[in-house]
Amino acid sequence: MLGPPGSGKGTCAHIISELFDLPVITTGDMLREAASNETEYGKVAGEYMNRGDLVPNYIVNGIVRDRLMKPDTDKGFILDGFPRSVAQADALDNILRDKGVQLDHVVFIVLEDEKIVGRLSLRRSCPECGAVYHLTSNPPKTKGVCDHCGTDLIQRNDDKEDVIKRRLEVYRRNTQPLLDRYEQKGIVRRFQGDNPLEKIPGLLQKLLS
């Protein structure tokens, strides 16, 4: 899943996961978990994330490699939030080569900056299963509680306006250039980030079949 912060990568990744019964590997969630557990790497990661900067590659690449070597990814997987730079895309190529698989699709989600800040400030996330909600467009059935696992929802530390702007800058500088790389491979599938939520499963099914 490729696209700016708040474009709907996590939302679409979880829908694709249900459609095709594939695990979602979300680097942001894995890093937030490490930060809240205050592991050695987690403490470093938390500092970068709270500023809206990319966490160093020596942490992220290792986490992704370890996760992709687990057997539940053998039938396929969805990467949400990785790679985010040319160096990470190179690392991913090496991991995929070692695993003997290749990328089938890069879902690139398109959304204008003006819509992003409004979305992220009203987002609520489940720290347990990673489900994402929006207070007006996609609220949980019970206020403040995850529909899927009953955990209390949280607001992320980096969903503040100044940090959102920084995340957008970092995205433009580091991540957007990856689009060319995957366009050249012919695997980019563009997806509009403001489709009505109820239409997204059908549209993604069509896009990826």
Catalytic positions, written as ranges: 9, 84, 123, 156, 167
- Give the residue with the Cβ less far from ligand AP5, 87 or 101: 87
Q: CB of 27: closest distance to ligand AP5 in angstroms?
A: 3
The two three-digit tokens of residue 19, written as one number:
């459609």
Q: Applying CB under 6 A, does 55 fall inside the site for ligand AP5?
A: yes
Binding residue for ligand AP5 (CB under 6 A) from 42, 46, 52, 130? 52
Q: Tell me the three-class secondary structure of the chain, residue by residue.
A: CECCCCCCHHHHHHHHHHHHCCCEEEHHHHHHHHHHCCCHHHHHHHHHHHHCCCCCHHHHHHHHHHHHCCHHHCCCCEEECCCCCHHHHHHHHHHHHHHCCCCCCEEEEECCHHHHHHHHHCEEECCCCCCEEECCCECCCCCCECCCCCCECECCCCCCHHHHHHHHHHHHHHHCCHHHHHHHHCCEEEEECCCCHHHHHHHHHHHHC
Q: Applying CB under 6 A, does 67 fall inside the site for ligand AP5?
A: no
Stretch that binds ligand AP5, among 45-53, 96-104, 144-152, 181-189 (CB under 6 A): 45-53
- Give the residue with the Cβ less far from ligand AP5, 82 or 108: 82
Q: Applying CB under 6 A, does 63 fall inside the site for ligand AP5?
A: no
- Give the residue with the Cβ less far from ligand AP5, 8 or 42: 8
Stretch that binds ligand AP5, among 35-43, 127-135, 140-148, 177-185 (CB under 6 A): 127-135
Locus of tokens 């592991």:
39
Residues of this chain that bind ligand AP5 (CB under 6 A): 3, 5-11, 27-28, 31, 48-49, 52-55, 60, 81-82, 84, 88, 119-120, 123, 132-134, 137-138, 158, 167, 194-195, 197
